Amino acid sequence: MTYIEIPSAILMKINYIDYDRAYRWFPGIGWQHQLIVRMSVQDYDGYPVPGTYVTATIYRDKSYYRDLLGYVGLSTEFYISPPLEEGFYKTVVQTLEAAGYLWDGVTPNNGRSFDF
Protein backbone atom coordinates (compact mmCIF):
# COMPACT_ATOMS: atom_id res chain seq x y z
CA MET A 1 0.00 0.00 0.00
CA THR A 2 1.31 3.44 -0.93
CA TYR A 3 0.59 6.44 1.22
CA ILE A 4 0.49 9.90 -0.21
CA GLU A 5 1.00 12.73 2.20
CA ILE A 6 -1.48 15.52 1.61
CA PRO A 7 -0.35 18.81 3.12
CA SER A 8 -2.83 20.40 5.45
CA ALA A 9 -4.50 23.62 4.39
CA ILE A 10 -3.46 26.88 6.00
CA LEU A 11 -6.28 28.81 7.64
CA MET A 12 -7.08 32.29 6.32
CA LYS A 13 -9.37 34.97 7.66
CA ILE A 14 -10.99 38.25 6.70
CA ASN A 15 -9.32 40.91 8.83
CA TYR A 16 -11.88 43.61 8.16
CA ILE A 17 -14.59 44.91 5.88
CA ASP A 18 -14.87 48.70 5.89
CA TYR A 19 -16.69 51.34 3.86
CA ASP A 20 -16.10 54.79 2.45
CA ARG A 21 -17.46 56.94 -0.34
CA ALA A 22 -16.01 59.01 -3.15
CA TYR A 23 -17.49 61.80 -5.22
CA ARG A 24 -16.56 61.30 -8.89
CA TRP A 25 -17.39 62.50 -12.35
CA PHE A 26 -19.15 59.93 -14.57
CA PRO A 27 -19.35 60.75 -18.30
CA GLY A 28 -22.93 61.26 -19.38
CA ILE A 29 -24.14 61.26 -15.75
CA GLY A 30 -22.18 63.99 -13.97
CA TRP A 31 -20.95 64.05 -10.40
CA GLN A 32 -22.11 61.04 -8.37
CA HIS A 33 -21.21 59.31 -5.14
CA GLN A 34 -19.49 55.96 -5.35
CA LEU A 35 -19.46 53.39 -2.54
CA ILE A 36 -16.07 51.91 -1.63
CA VAL A 37 -15.95 48.52 0.11
CA ARG A 38 -12.53 47.70 1.60
CA MET A 39 -11.58 44.16 2.51
CA SER A 40 -8.43 42.56 3.92
CA VAL A 41 -7.48 38.87 3.96
CA GLN A 42 -4.52 37.21 5.73
CA ASP A 43 -3.51 33.81 6.97
CA TYR A 44 -3.49 33.22 10.73
CA ASP A 45 0.21 34.15 10.90
CA GLY A 46 -0.51 37.59 9.43
CA TYR A 47 0.82 36.94 5.92
CA PRO A 48 -1.00 37.89 2.71
CA VAL A 49 -2.82 35.12 0.86
CA PRO A 50 -2.06 35.28 -2.88
CA GLY A 51 -4.82 34.77 -5.43
CA THR A 52 -7.74 34.90 -3.01
CA TYR A 53 -11.14 35.11 -4.71
CA VAL A 54 -14.17 36.38 -2.81
CA THR A 55 -17.89 36.12 -3.51
CA ALA A 56 -20.10 38.24 -1.29
CA THR A 57 -23.46 39.97 -1.12
CA ILE A 58 -23.97 43.60 -0.20
CA TYR A 59 -27.20 44.42 1.61
CA ARG A 60 -28.79 47.86 2.02
CA ASP A 61 -31.18 48.15 4.96
CA LYS A 62 -31.27 44.31 5.22
CA SER A 63 -32.39 43.89 1.59
CA TYR A 64 -30.31 42.49 -1.25
CA TYR A 65 -28.42 45.29 -2.98
CA ARG A 66 -25.62 43.87 -5.13
CA ASP A 67 -23.13 41.02 -5.52
CA LEU A 68 -19.43 41.58 -4.97
CA LEU A 69 -16.97 39.30 -6.79
CA GLY A 70 -13.24 39.59 -7.26
CA TYR A 71 -9.72 39.06 -6.03
CA VAL A 72 -8.79 40.39 -2.62
CA GLY A 73 -5.49 40.85 -0.80
CA LEU A 74 -4.07 42.64 2.24
CA SER A 75 -6.11 45.72 1.42
CA THR A 76 -8.40 45.74 -1.59
CA GLU A 77 -10.97 48.33 -2.58
CA PHE A 78 -14.11 47.51 -4.55
CA TYR A 79 -15.83 50.51 -6.16
CA ILE A 80 -19.61 50.32 -6.42
CA SER A 81 -20.99 52.67 -9.06
CA PRO A 82 -24.22 54.64 -8.92
CA PRO A 83 -27.11 54.67 -8.51
CA LEU A 84 -26.69 54.66 -4.73
CA GLU A 85 -29.35 55.26 -2.13
CA GLU A 86 -29.05 56.28 1.48
CA GLY A 87 -29.18 53.49 4.02
CA PHE A 88 -27.16 50.99 6.06
CA TYR A 89 -24.78 48.89 3.93
CA LYS A 90 -23.51 45.50 5.11
CA THR A 91 -21.45 42.81 3.36
CA VAL A 92 -21.83 39.06 3.91
CA VAL A 93 -19.13 36.80 2.43
CA GLN A 94 -20.30 33.51 0.89
CA THR A 95 -16.96 32.09 -0.26
CA LEU A 96 -13.29 32.90 0.08
CA GLU A 97 -11.01 30.65 -1.98
CA ALA A 98 -7.27 30.36 -2.46
CA ALA A 99 -5.13 27.36 -3.45
CA GLY A 100 -3.71 25.67 -0.34
CA TYR A 101 -5.81 27.74 2.07
CA LEU A 102 -9.00 27.15 3.98
CA TRP A 103 -11.26 30.05 5.01
CA ASP A 104 -12.34 30.00 8.65
CA GLY A 105 -15.89 30.83 7.50
CA VAL A 106 -16.25 34.02 9.55
CA THR A 107 -17.50 37.29 8.08
CA PRO A 108 -16.41 40.02 10.49
CA ASN A 109 -19.02 42.36 11.90
CA ASN A 110 -19.31 45.25 9.47
CA GLY A 111 -21.66 47.90 8.14
CA ARG A 112 -22.07 51.62 7.75
CA SER A 113 -24.85 54.11 7.16
CA PHE A 114 -24.63 56.60 4.29
CA ASP A 115 -26.79 59.57 3.32
CA PHE A 116 -25.74 59.90 -0.32
Strands (E), the chain: 10-26, 30-43, 52-60, 63-72, 76-80, 87-97, 101-103, 112-114
**What span, in angstroms and rounded, lies between the C-alpha atoms of 104 and 52?**
13
Convert the pLDDT of each residue in 34-82 to its tens digit: 999 999 999 999 999 989 999 999 999 999 999 999 999 989 999 998 8
Residue extents of the structural domains in the chain? 10-100
Convert the pLDDT of each residue in 85-103 to its tens digit: 999 999 999 999 999 999 9
